[in-house]
Structures are given as C-alpha cells and as structure tokens.
Structure 1
C-alpha cells in the first residue's frame, strides 16, 4: 500500500490528479465534505458541470472495498455515485457531483414520508442483492466487539465510569440477549449506516443515491431499516417510526424478502437498535477522544433517549437498564 505524502504534498498531488482526470488544467478544488473516517471529498471549481474528487489516503483507508461494493450495488439496481476516473494506487476517484445536500439537509416533517418511501425503495433493492462471496458476516465476534466500544469508550473514557464486577455481569447478560437476537434474524446484505446523511436526492428518477457503503456485511434484516428511522443525527416521534417500520415490513414481504411476522420484526428492530445505539455511543466517544472529532459526541443524548424508549419494554434487558440507571445516568447528567 502506497504511503500518503505529507498534507501539503497530498494537497498538491490531489489537485494535479484532478486536473489530469478532468482534462482541465485550470480547475481548482474546494472542500465538499469529510466523513468520520479518513476519506475527504473535494468539489472542482472552474468547470461546468462540476465533479467530486474522493481522496482516500491508501495507507489509511483503501478505496478498493468502496469500489467493489459500489459495483455490487449498481449491478443490483441501487443508485450509487458514478465513477468517472480512478487511481486506486494513490487513492483518488473522480465522481459525478450529486450536489451539496443529503437527506439530512432536506428532510423535514412534511416531506419525511415521501423521502423515506424512496429510501425504502433503495433499501429493498439493496437487500435483494445476493451478498458477494467473501463478504464479512455480522457474526458473534463483530457484534460483541462493537458492543464493547460502549464499555471502553463511552462509559470508561468519556464518562469516567469504570464498570465494576456487577456492571460487567449485567452488561454481559444484556449483550448475550442482543447478540443472540441478532444472530437469529434472517440474513441479508446490510449497509450498516443506511441513514439520511448517507442518502442524496437525485433528479434522474432513480431514487436517492446511496453513499458510504464500503463496510457492508451479511447480517440481520432489521438493521438497516432501524438505522434509517432511528438516525444518529435526527429523531422522530415513536408513532411515526412504528408506522414507517410497518410500511417497510409490508413492502419487504411483497418483495419476497425473508422478514418474519410483524410483531417479531418489531422486536428484532428494537433489539438490533439497542445494539447499534450502544455501539454508536462508543464510536462517537472514540471519535472525540482518540480522533479529535468532537462534533459527533454532541448527539450522545439522542442515543440515551433511544435506549430509554426501548430498554424498559424488554425484561430480558433489565440488566442493561440497571447499568444505565446506576452508572450511566448520574455520570451523563454530570458531564
């Protein structure tokens, strides 16, 4: 894997590549967006139409998994960004410019039904794709590793709470419930971050473009639908979430996807949601303390609220509820 040059040299290398890829020696680049990983996105200026340059430093974030999954999704009819030029060894891609607004920028109360209807259409296409050989599974080890991010990064590092023996026993008991429930679900292709900030409106009639799909796995069918409606960056009333999940379930049945009966599906969605919420709390704390990206941890209260809405409904999650009440809530209120 080619080491990335220092930042200023990388900047010059990126601009030189963009000019060669577009065939326009006069264009410039301005920052378009960045994500929680090492990739960054740059919009061309001085040409029309504009393009997006993805910069994925090869020693930090190999672009090949992104390209491979993009091709899988496109072959399955999912709208994804079009790749116009590539330099895989140096980590540069030239993409179509889909604009500056994701679903997260444009979704409001009055258009949410329409936008989510289109998003579910893309999700059903994604879930109908046969996972490619060798795709990682959302297995016991991965589920457990994600859950332990909550212990290590959110409780211990962010809140300063060192779980004692009782806490660890309670967490272990709850995690067994969550992992067993996830492994019992029907398995499909899972995006793992199917949420409004990773969907972009398009004007070509193909539905929203799906972004940030490089970490896809084979896993529980309720995962992506739950991620869509219980987002990391905005919240909806429980009644609307329930209605959207029921609509997704109806459409998934009609599409022949292996969803269980609705009441079982609701339980599956709730429990995989708890797993995701705990994981994301850990990830956001890690982004803050290890990667010096503090903006994400501001949404921690959203995930605590998600947990508060679901955990009390399931007696089998009472051990997690005890940790929340005894350890998380007092420390979180004081933070």
Structure 2
C-alpha cells in the first residue's frame, strides 16, 4: 500500500481489486492456443494449434471514440467493450482472417473496480462473439489526464489466415454482386456529429423514449456494434468470397472502395435494405442531405461482400440457415466510383 501514491490520485489497492473482478470474464474467453497469461507482462498464444501451413497474421487496432460520452451520460458501461472488440475484429475479418486473440487498453481518471468490471465484461462478451481469446490488457489510472468519471477504452486484435486464402482484392471483378449484412444501428462511428445534432443542437434527452422508438435514446445510441465473425466464418467454409468491406466512419463512399482494385467501382441501390429509424431521426433533426448521410454513417449496412452471381442464392441460403439477414444491394462496376441510386 502506498499512501503517497493514493494522495497523488492513484489507488493501487483498487487496481488489485479490479484485476480480481475481471478474471472470471477473461477466463470465459479462453480458446485453444490461448495461454494463461493474465498478470504476466505479455499475453501469449500458441500458433501451432491452428494447423496452418503458411499462416499470415492480420492485426487491427481501434477505439470507441466519442460514443463513450453517451456511456458516461447514461452511466451504462457494460456494452462499450463490445464496440472496442467489434471495431478491431471486423477490420481483420475483411482480409479473410479469423481473430484469434485480443488485448484491451483502459485508461481511467479514477479506478472504480465495479465500473472496470462492467467495461471488461463487455470486452469479454465481444471476444466470445468473435470466438477469440482475451489474453491480456492494461488498465492505467491517470488522474488529471481524465476526470474521475471518465475513461477511454481501445484495443487490438490479431487474426490468422492461410496465405493461399488471404483476400487482397485481386479476384474482384466487374459484374460481381454485392451482398450487405445489416448493422445494429449507428455502431461506433460519427458520434461527434451525432452528439452535435441530437444533444447539443436539438437538446434531446438520452433518458427519454421518443416517437417511433421502443427504448430511451441513450440505449438506442449505445446499441453495440455488430460482430460479423461467425457469419463470415460460416460463409467462407462454403462460398468463395471475392472481397469484403467493413462500413465504418466515412460510410459507403470511403469504405467500399477499400476492397476494390484501381479502376473498379460499385453501384448500390440504397432502397434494397431497411434503414434503422435512428438514421431518419439524424437526417431530419440535422437537416442532412441523403448523400452526406451515406458519406458519414453505415445507414443500415455494416458489412459488404463481393461474390460471383452464381453464388448469390447459396450465400443468402447459408446466412438464412444461421438466422443472419442479408440483402443484395448492388454490383461491382468498371466506373471507378461509388454510385448510389434511389
């Protein structure tokens, strides 16, 4: 125990308590290959158990952004960790890699063990949904850097794919079909604009349930980012996916081209999939143009696949078998641009 350190704002005893509280959440994410390393200086994973001849590691890192401000205002912290995992694993997934382990970084103004347990619970939930192990992390108490009730959470994941199955966009071509997997809402992007439109300008109350919604605004906004690992893993066992894109900040215009070779484009029918009501509220309240909405938000599609026309029915059927909705939303073109039609 260090009284001087506590006087400076860092409570070592609370830190030890936090570690004890999160151990059960970490334990439930253990998968084959994960080594018992919580408390060690480094997390460990045995790659040999994957049985790959030429494994390629694919890594991704991200945070949750200012969606955290909604969590602070709502005093709800048990799902934000899912977002931290989702933003990383979905990125790794687009290259055909299955996530194998995740590490989180949590910076807090004051070590509140119960709150930290809730955050890490969310991280563990996300890892379970991703079928990857939470093999380590870091919690840093940083008084003066953060206020006592604020924190930041980020992380990174590592995935693996057989070299021969790596998706690099080289097999995407004109005429292939785009299949979209629905988002759960706004996910974890655009929250600086969302907060400006709904909270700063319109002064809406996150604790109030507004017309056309079945729960308070704060809960709608805190709906966790969907994790697409299980759906894509199921598809890759039966269908040759040509390319994938995770629709994050920058919407359709920025993210879909990231899976394409130079010279290719896409044509997307935005009436081909349902739009969560939160986007209608943002558009009307913020007086935003339709094109701008698609340049910022996912608008209801969180993940896009490019497949051959011959595989469309099979793809939709396979996803239906595991209760995953999917929509044919467009096609690959040689236009070199993203064309949206209404």
What's the TM-score once normalised by structure 2's chain length? 0.25
Bigger helix share: 1
Higher relative contact order (CA 8 A, sep 6+): 2
Bigger strand share: 2
What's the TM-score once normalised by structure 1's chain length? 0.26
